[in-house]
Structure 1
Amino acid sequence: MDRRNLLPIGQFSQAGGLSVTALRHYDASGVLVPTFVDPVSGYRYYRRDQVRTARSIRALRQLDIPVEEVRRLLGGGQEELVAALRAHLSAAERRLEVQRSTVHSLLSRLTEGTEMTHRVTIRQGAAERILVRGATIDNSGLDAFLRAAYQEMYEVAGRGPLALTGPAFVRFHGVCDDENETLVEACLSFWEDGAQPTDLPEGMTVRELPETTLACTEVEGAAAAFPQILGAYDAVADWITRHDFAFAGPVRLVYRRWTGTPDAPDNRMEIAWPIAEPCA
């Protein structure tokens, strides 16, 4: 083979910004295969136009994109790569916003205390009959699930028609964030003595919730959007712990006033946590 238009691995390493060790690894994993390997010395040679690919690999790995994902993206078209980069940027901005909100919330708790920013009260929650649609998801799938679930549930309610007795709410059976999945239930309460739902879609059920005591706080506008709203959950949990109550069920997110846009100034949400007196 004519090697005059090929770069030996040392020169290619300098031009592409990847170490010789990294180039050997990317060769073994099929991400960047040399054009020619000397059968005697085992020395690797690369085409000059592969320098651009090497620089793309370096940039993608600096973004912490896994090697297998890099290989897949480079094997696809430019449109797929552009879409993946935009999605990665959105995810990075979201993580940064979560970190920023977490730091501000922690600073507020350390310097002011949660009760300075979130007033917690107790209210009595009546027994309810509810429509429920559940799914095990993390935060990335939460918005899409809730929108689809409530659209389907309101269609069922309209066929009754059911007499709804309160605002829609969500029950979280555990931590739901970008790193943890949990069972999330979209709920609609309706009058038990009125029309009853029929022909429920698969996965939708009717359930009875008993009367319960709830520790609550409300947030509005941007404070009601993720991740800022996490501070409200923390405030209620801290209040329950400090006042020696027991956690008595999944926390609820109640849509007191909802515009349909997550950070709209007119939104008003309530965090309501079932509580009970601690066991003796």
Structure 2
Amino acid sequence: MSNDLLPIGRFARLCRLSVKQLRHYDELGLLSPAWVDPASGYRYYRPDQARDALTVGMLRELDVPLSAVARVLAGQGADALRVARDRLEAEVARRRRALRLLDRVLAEGLPETAVSVVREPARRVRTASEPATPMAIAPATGACVARLLDGFAGVPSLVGLFPLDMAEEFEVRVALESPSGEDVLPGGAFAQALHVGPYEEIALTVHAVLAWFGDHGHAPAGPVREVYLNDPASTPPEDLETRVLIRLEDVR
């Protein structure tokens, strides 16, 4: 063993990392020690590894994923950091939306939207789908709409279709009513409420409809349908109207 090597405790203090973090990064193959004592298993590091260790610590404080950190250490980090920045920007936008919703709840209380039961006919539709995460619903929905309206003439009748359970990753679908559509949007009995306001606040109306299910002992069946009644390009966000529908699984 070289006398220049630093034991893990001293190296951790130099790099402002914990011993536990260094062990974890070693297990991931992200920052391996220069030498491991075969008898004790104790880890030792070279002083010139401090720069990499400090880089790891700084990027993790910025919420850069470990996979992107590894690419930075390998000298291939520009694209990875741009992706990490986009993720962080999307998270900031999501939290801003959450703050606006929370402000509305604080000002007005939990929504008590009027809910009614309606029967919807089956409709022939064309559909488009996109993978999404809770932080990226809007761009995924917009991409679906753009594909459906490409070359379309007339006044579109669009329906957003979203899962009841928002997992880490899920599929967003948008349906365009069309007599020649290859898909069928099933009919049946639905609980319905009218949402007036920005699309980003529709979650409050969905909450109200699902609360109605609980109050009345019915079982909801996904997906949640959002029927868009206005053109967002020409309608102020506060005046947008959206029908929110959730099918009653136990009513035929």
Answer whether TM exceeds 0.5 for this pair.
yes
Asked whether the 8 Å contact 1:217–1:236 carries over to 2, the reply is no
Say which of 106, 122, 127 aligns to 1:132. 127
User: For 2:214 and 2:43, how far apart are their aligned partners in 1?
Assistant: 65
Q: Which has the larger radius of gyration?
A: 1
Residue among 144, 147, 152 paired with 2:147 = 152
> Could you give the per-residue CA deviations for residues 38-72 of structure 1, whole angstroms, max 9, x where no partner exists?
89997624234x32322222233445656455323
2:53 aligns with 54
Provide closer, same or farther for how the CA distance between residues 78 and 131 of structure 1 changes in structure 2, counting only shifts above 3 A. closer
Once residues 206 and 122 of structure 2 are traced to their aligned partners in structure 1, the CA distance between those partners, rounded to angstroms, is 23
Question: Alignment length, in residue pairs?
Answer: 250
Query: Which residue does 2:240 correspond to in 1?
Result: 267
Trace 1:1-280 onto structure 2 (pairs within 5 A): 9-35=8-34, 44-48=44-48, 50-62=49-61, 67-80=66-79, 82-94=81-93, 96-97=95-96, 100=99, 112-115=109-112, 118-134=113-129, 137-140=132-135, 142-155=137-150, 157-158=152-153, 167-176=157-166, 179=168, 181=170, 183-190=171-178, 192=179, 196=180, 205-207=182-184, 209-210=186-187, 212-221=189-198, 224-225=199-200, 228-247=201-220, 250-259=223-232, 264-275=237-248
Pair 1:136–1:212, CA change in 2 (3 A): farther
Amino acid at match of 1:269: T
In structure 2, distance between residues paired with 1:86 and 1:135: 22
* Code of the aligned partner of 1:15: L
Is this contact kept in 2: 1:214–1:275, CA < 8 A?
yes
Provide closer, same or farther for how the CA distance between residues 260 and 56 of structure 1 changes in structure 2, counting only shifts above 3 A: farther
Contact (CA 8 Å) 1:259, 1:266: kept in 2 or not? no
Unaligned runs of 5+ in 2: none
Aligned partners of 1:130, 1:140: CA distance in 2, in Å?
Answer: 27
Q: Residues of 2 paired with 1:153 and 1:271: CA distance?
A: 21
Task: Pick closer, same or farther for the CA change 1:75–1:207 going to 2, 3 Å.
Answer: same
Q: For 1:187-227, what per-residue CA distance to the aligned partner results, in whole angstroms no more than 9, with x for missing partners?
A: 1123x4xxx36xxxxxxx33264364542221313xx21xx
Q: Alignment identity in percent?
A: 26
The amino acid that maps onto 2:128 is R
Deviations 1:54-109 (A, max 9, x none): 2222233445656455323422435235424423422442453465467567767x
Aligned alpha-carbon RMSD (Å): 4.1
TM-score of the pair, normalised by structure 2: 0.72
C-alpha contact 2:195 2:202 (8 A) present in aligned 1 = no
- The two structures have a TM-score, normalised by structure 1, of 0.66
Question: Cα distance 1:71–1:246, how it changes in 2: closer, same or farther (>3 A)?
Answer: closer
Task: Provide closer, same or farther for how the CA distance between residues 214 and 86 of structure 1 changes in structure 2, counting only shifts above 3 A.
Answer: same
Determine if contact 1:215/1:236 at 8 Å carries over to the other structure: yes
5+ unaligned residues in a row in structure 1: which ranges? Answer: 198-204
SS at match of 2:229: strand
